[in-house]
Amino acid sequence: MKLQELFKVTNPYEKKLYKPYIIAEAGVNHEGSMELAKRLCDEAKEGGADAIKFQTYKADTIASKDSPAYWDTTKEPTKSQHELFTKHDKFWKVEMQELKEYCESIGLEFMSTPFDIESATFLNEMMDVFKISSSDLTNKPFIEFMCDFGKPIILSTGASSLSEIAEAVSWIEKKGNPLALLHCVLNYPTPDKNANLGMIMDLKTRFPDKIIGYSDHTLPQDMKVCEMATMIGSVIIEKHFTHDKTLPGNDHYHAMDKEDLKLFRNNLERTFEILGGFKIEALEDESPARANARRSLVALKDIPKGKVIEKGDLTFKRPAHGVSPRFIDEVIGKIALIDIKNDDVLKWDMFR
């Protein structure tokens, strides 16, 4: 399913859970190499992602020279955002177009988060849905600019208060764009104790007409956090993605790789197989139990022909091949048409 199609669902929940749309957030983990970027696309596809998402920015338009780090500097020692972004801002329109075409060739949806007016403008030609970073949740002019393209918006809500989220939602609603909100914690990496997946439930309650998802920054480990987020209703799961988690850099050490992604996808397949249907009904495989483990009305004693059947004449035993005990009130008071022996399973043609 294409991401845009999610926004056509009037009620994305409908009293059931959905297998999430999985976005492998490659960001700038291509390190400026087209070969590596395409490898990330291939591995995201192999791992089972629905989309791969990059980031498009220029250091000079995203951060001032005085922009301190907010990540774990033991993993990424660069202490200036501007300096770090300068290392990774070489991919622009031509490179994004090439990646867009490559993703189409392998059946993977292409996305990239824009961080300035210019990148948003040219990415509009390549994407059906815009992603807005948590860092831009309070950036009213940029949000309104992207809304004016008339496309669905995915907004991450990291490091935000409820009032800030509600304000951003109001800007987008005023423009009329379909909207998905992703619970997110801007803590790199996010300790499991800080994941606060319960906030997903609050987003669902407070914004019941919006698609709710989760953008994850926890260490991948067994991918349990993303699985839990799915089980409480996340329709979109986004997680940083790399080809090598041992590499230095801000977005490698807390990212998943293709094997983590495969594990997550396989676990989801098993989980949803176990969940099964969301409508109460007897299963075909339960037919033997319905026929043999349920009970029938059975004669507790001999009932001679012509006798009016009383409650004391009856008991209930397996199997369910005769008159169900649910009809006992209809049987009491009927007249036996034949001699009914002790332990006979009652049939409808035995009385009138």
The two three-digit tokens of residue 107, written as one number: 């059946």
Percent with pLDDT over 70 in the chain: 97
CATH code assigned to 284-350? 3.90.1210.10
CATH level 3 topology of 17-275:
TIM Barrel (3.20.20)
pTM of the model: 0.88
Instruction: Parse the chain into domains and list their residue ranges.
Output: 17-275, 284-350
**If you average pLDDT over residues 293-298, what whole number do you get?**
98
204-242 pLDDT, tens per residue? 999 999 999 999 999 999 999 999 999 999 999 999 999
252, pLDDT greater than 90: no
- Report the alpha-carbon distance of residue 268 to residue 250 in Å, rounded: 28
325-336 pLDDT, tens per residue? 999 999 999 999
What pLDDT was estimated at residue 188?
86
What pLDDT was estimated at residue 14?
65
Label residue 35 exposed, middle or buried (CB < 10 Å: 0-12, 13-18, 19+). Answer: exposed
